Chain A
Amino acid sequence: MPGVADFWALIELYTYVLWVYVASYASEFWTYVALSVSGIWAYILPGVEPFIVYLSATIIGLGVLQNLVYLFQLFLAYAELRINTPLQMDSALWRLLKSDVTMPISLLVPAYNEETTIVDSVTSLMALHYPNFEIIVVNDGSSDGTLAKMLEAFDLKPTSRSFPESVSHKPIRGLYASPRYPKLFVVDKANGGKSDALNAGINLSRFPLFCTIDADSILEADALLRAVQPFVDDPKVVAVGGTIRIANGCRIHAGAVTEIALPRQILPLFQTVEYLRAFLIARLAWSRLKTLLIISGAFGVFKRQIVVEVGGYSHGTVGEDIEIIVKIHRHMRETKTEYRMHFLPEPVCWTEAPTTLRALGRQRSRWQRGALETFFKHKRMALNPRYGVVGLLGFGNSLLVDVLGPPLEVLGLIMLPIFWSLGLLSATYVAAFYSLSFVFGVFISVGSLFLEELELRRYPRARDLIILTLAAVAENFGYRQMNNLWRIRGYWQFLTGAKSWGHMTRAGFSKT
């Protein structure tokens, strides 16, 4: 029977762990918070046996917390969709209202071995509806004919452009332009990875805003017009992210999505639901809390000057799109400058999702590694009140979801049944954890779909909704757990494979 002694032992265990973390900020307040959280937790679980049960209880407790965060995200996302997002006006109306005051944008398109698609991609980018933009394609030392294809198709000639060394990158081998395509500018440089290519693009861009785009994704024609809206309305805005949706199954004609449809394969279909849940809803929620920690590299618009101030994209990272956002938060908080970042549901970038387990697994391991890299590189921000909501909520969430989440979930799924079979734990623990891991997620997935249908209605047919609902239920049984295994692999790579960064950066670039 547990007594008062056990109770105190539990508190000691928890507070010690938290103390180590919190002590570095020398904030007494957080110690009290840690104390009370572990106290309450020990209280609501009567009859615990030390260690094994503490461990199981911790795993379940964090699972509960994680799911509560997801639940909270749904509410926040709803509020953001209803109240805060810019009006989804007809683009004709919008153009009338604001398009003549839009700032010029440089589109930065890093390209590594994209010879099959680059010409089509660039052609369709040139057709974007935007008054004043340039396209800077950065050929990152491709080993195929990426550059040659462009030189031929667009009649490019060597040119010259003065540029500052604001951020660092590998040497530039050549600059190309064509009088026939005044919007297009091509940079040829030595291979250095995606961050490096983006930095070269930043140096060469001359406009106040730049937009990062993956060479193989498709921007909707009015995406830039919509994405620039927060910049037009508020000079304090430093970055805006748009929604990424899955193009598999859609009809694509001449570099534009002409008919939205669901993927016909199961893996991309799951990813469609997952993108709604994890990218659309979660990012809307964090955007509402002014705590957005990621803007996808496939479509984000930035104030050039701010990115230059933080030194551009960091080299040797796999998650350069997360890292740059965290760097901006950090910089703005440290210099005590007022700033805003937004995530918008409506400018949409369509991207082809991986269709094989292998490719998907690689992608997910990489994402996990990127998240961990960023977290530990900027760990001084974590739970640090000096960084406001970003440090507390943003990093707190990242700690829960990226750092603690994957190992704990796998641990729970494997260990709890073992403990139970050894008679160390009652079946309720196992049932509780398995319902958290499998069943609770159904509500979160379907809830995300619910919001999508209520506010955005991107999928054209009622039949699509039924299929998506089925997928939203099904993805919780197997797909999400599989994802977790890939994340664990990413974890492993993060802990062991620091030296393989350069190589992986390249792999990240190649198409799936």
Chain B
Amino acid sequence: MSCILVADDDPLIIRLLEHRLRHRGYDVISAPDGETALDLAIREKPDLILLDGMMPGLDGFEVLRRLKENPETIQIPVVMLTARSQEGDIVNGLTSGAADYMVKPFIPEELIARIQRIVGDGTQVPGGPQRNAG
């Protein structure tokens, strides 16, 4: 199973994404802030990371920057989920190595389609050997 890390300080988003992604057969882990997201990314090596742009402490763009600096996590594709007022930062995000981005409010189906395009169906394993997630 592909494992997806969702980092967002809004618990409702986490619930929403967990709900949708699990139904598609993905394994989901979540982080309420940037620091935890970084820790989990290194420890759990998820297949994809969904990052909120606005998080207290370390914001999403900084987390992205650090993920892309770390050889252990540089390969993990990152999708940014940002508020409209951060549109200026989107370019910044893409040049820092985000695989894709979406603006809130979003269409959940569209988000899932984009995720599938990057990591494939939840039940398949993208490249690499089978691993135990969770």
Contacts and interface: CB of A to CB of B under 8 A. Distances in A.
Direct contact of A and B (CB under 8 A): yes
Interface of A: 92, 95, 99-100, 123-124, 126-127, 129, 131, 180, 182, 220-221, 253-256, 258
B121 interface: no
A258 B36 CA distance: 12
Given A123-B58, A253-B57, A182 B85 contact: no
Contact of A127 (B58, B83, B84, B85): B58
Contacts, number: 49
Contacts of B35: 253-254
B33 interface: yes
A434 to B, nearest CB: 47
B44 interface: no
Given A95-B83, A99-B85, A256 B56 contact: yes
Contacts of A254: 33-35, 56-58
A127 B92 contact: no
A180 B39 CA distance: 22
B62 A126 contact: yes
Contacts of B56: 124, 127, 129, 220-221, 254-256
B58 A253 contact: no
B100 interface: no
Contacts of A256: 33, 56-57
Contacts of B84: 100
Interface in B47-77: 54-59, 62, 65
Given A131-B86, A254-B33, A256-B33, A124 B65 contact: no
- Which applies to chain B's interface (DSSP): helix, strand, loop or mixed? loop
Interface residues of B, number: 18
A124 B65 CA distance: 15
Nearest to A258: B33
Contact of B34 (A95, A99, A127, A180): A127
Given A180-B65, A182-B92, A255 B85 contact: no
Given A95-B83, A127-B55, A182-B92, A253 B62 contact: no
30 contacts: A100-B84, A100-B85, A123-B57, A123-B58, A123-B62, A124-B56, A127-B34, A127-B54, A127-B55, A127-B56, A127-B58, A127-B59, A127-B62, A129-B54, A131-B85, A131-B86, A220-B56, A221-B9, A253-B35, A253-B57, A254-B33, A254-B34, A254-B56, A254-B57, A254-B58, A255-B57, A255-B58, A256-B33, A256-B56, A256-B57
A95 B62 contact: no
A253 B85 contact: no
Contacts of A126: 59, 62
A96 to B, nearest CB: 10
A256 B32 CA distance: 12
Contacts of B55: 127, 221
A61 B55 CA distance: 53
A99 B62 CA distance: 22
Nearest to A219: B56
Contacts of A95: 83, 85
A193 to B, nearest CB: 31
Identify which of B9, B55, B85, B92 gathers the most chain A CB atoms within 10 Å of its CB: B85
Identify which of B57, B59, B84 gathers the most chain A CB atoms within 10 Å of its CB: B57
